Chains A and B, each alone.
Chain A
Amino acid sequence: MAVNAMKATEVTKRVFNKEELFILDVRNTEDYQDWKIEGENFEYLNIPYFELLDGVEGILDKLPTDKDVLVVCAKEGSSIFVAEELSEAGLTVSYLEGGMKAWSEHLEPVKIGDLKNGGEVYQFVRIGKGCLSYMIISNGEAAIIDATRMTDIFTDFADSKGAKITHVFDTHLHADHISGGRKIAEKTNAMYWLPPMDATEVTFKYEPLEGGNVIKIGNTAIGIHALYTPGHTIGSTSFVVDEKYLLSGDILFIDSIGRPDLAGLAEDWVGDLRESLYKRYRELSEDLVVLPAHFMIIEELNEDGSVGKKLGDLFAENHGLNIKNEEEFRRLVTENLPPQPNAYQEIRKTNMGKITPDEEEQREMEIGPNRCAVR
């Protein structure tokens, strides 16, 4: 029987299409419980590989025969080992190529829509970690928002569209993942924009992104209107693109809202967060499509794998936008918060340019889900 390698992009398709898959995750139980591959119709079994060194006979009756079985581990070595044992026992199974490391780094581009005067908006879904980046393309020029550190994917994509990257933005100083914004800007000679309020400690040059800035992409006048919306960080900035899309950064998600504590100032920023969500966003058109910088749960994905919903729908459905009592709101966003993202302080320092970990260290720092939201 054969052992096949399954790529992260194939697993992503199964998530998007809500297909079935049986995942045998052979990492240790703690790592598995912290973070795993999420799919609506996926089934799971977690048995650490070190319990299968003497053979897999004990688990054969726990594996289905009518479903594809994918063996998953941290980097792939142990999953190949277990997959081969299963193969010798007569099963046909696959292993995840590159393991959870590859899963964490995989980006799937999804088209969100067309712009009024020509041009397109793409969302890059980092399915394993729940991060969302954006590319706006118009008339041979491209802007990137909230890029991940896997920068080749963005530059290659722009090349394939025949677009030159002219502007790179970060909506805020990220705490859950390492930004690729500065690297892309250096490589392409694009302008790199950061909100100055978040950039007081950065060690490099940037363009100050401030509320009221309007930046044009292409010559068809695609406006990117910056909207100052503090709360997740003091500098957090949203964008209205083409009067149709609201890129909400880590302030507003589909089924949750941003948490104000990752820079250590939860109590101070609660008021800003409320002001941004309950006043500034209320002044915007309800027809704007909200495109956030993260998703937290797989149910937030649309049919095509994209993440986005009309602002009006979120006002009706998102619990975090419907808390009348200010004190109750304060409690929601400051008490009983989920654990903080892995290595979030080191990630912030990396994004400030204060430390420069090598690629392997950056990879380790980003392990796990993003955890930027409160529900």
Chain B
Amino acid sequence: MEATKLLDAKGFACPMPIVRTKKAMNELESGQVLEVHTTDKGSKNDITAWTKSGGHELVKQEDENGVYKFWIKKGE
């Protein structure tokens, strides 16, 4: 999956992963994809829910050695 930008939010606790994700998304054009890496367990459900409520699309999500990876496509 090709991402326009990578956001490393590993080591941050709630609410910072989403605060940073939101900020990074603001800098993208709609249709572009942001890749986010987190380690906070709560961020898994929260980023999924935030993506939906923000009108974006979660294209892919993977867990790898304790790192949660998200690919979020910016909505209109």
Contact = CB atoms under 8 A, between A and B. Distances in A.
Interface residues of B, number: 14
Given A53-B15, A81-B15, A75 B46 contact: no
Contacts of A81: 15
Contacts of B65: none
Interface of A: 28-31, 48-51, 53, 73-75, 77-78, 81, 364
Contact of B49 (A28, A53, A75): A28
A72 to B, nearest CB: 13
> Which one of A50, A75, A78, A81 has the greatest number of beta carbons of chain B within 10 Å?
A50
B14 A73 contact: yes
Given A50-B53, A51-B53, A28 B46 contact: yes
Contacts, number: 41
Given A53-B15, A77-B14, A77-B16, 15 more contacts: A28-B49, A28-B50, A29-B49, A30-B45, A31-B45, A49-B14, A49-B18, A50-B18, A50-B22, A50-B50, A50-B53, A53-B18, A75-B14, A77-B15, A364-B41
Contacts of B16: 77
A140 B43 CA distance: 48
B45 A28 contact: yes
Q: Is the interface of A mostly helix, strand, loop or mixed?
A: helix
Q: Is the interface of B mostly helix, strand, loop or mixed?
A: helix
Contacts of B53: 48, 50-51
> Which one of B15, B41, B46 has the greatest number of beta carbons of chain A within 10 Å?
B15
B31 interface: no
Interface of B: 13-16, 18-19, 22, 41-42, 45-46, 49-50, 53
Nearest to B16: A77
B70 to A, nearest CB: 13
B42 A48 contact: no
A259 B16 CA distance: 41
Closest 9 CB pairs of A and B: A28-B49, A78-B15, A50-B50, A77-B14, A50-B18, A74-B42, A78-B14, A77-B13, A81-B15
Contacts of A77: 13-16
B49 A50 contact: yes
A78 B45 CA distance: 14
Given A53-B18, A53-B22, A364-B41, A48 B46 contact: yes
A75 B41 CA distance: 11
Contacts of A48: 46, 49-50, 53
Contacts of A31: 45
A360 to B, nearest CB: 8
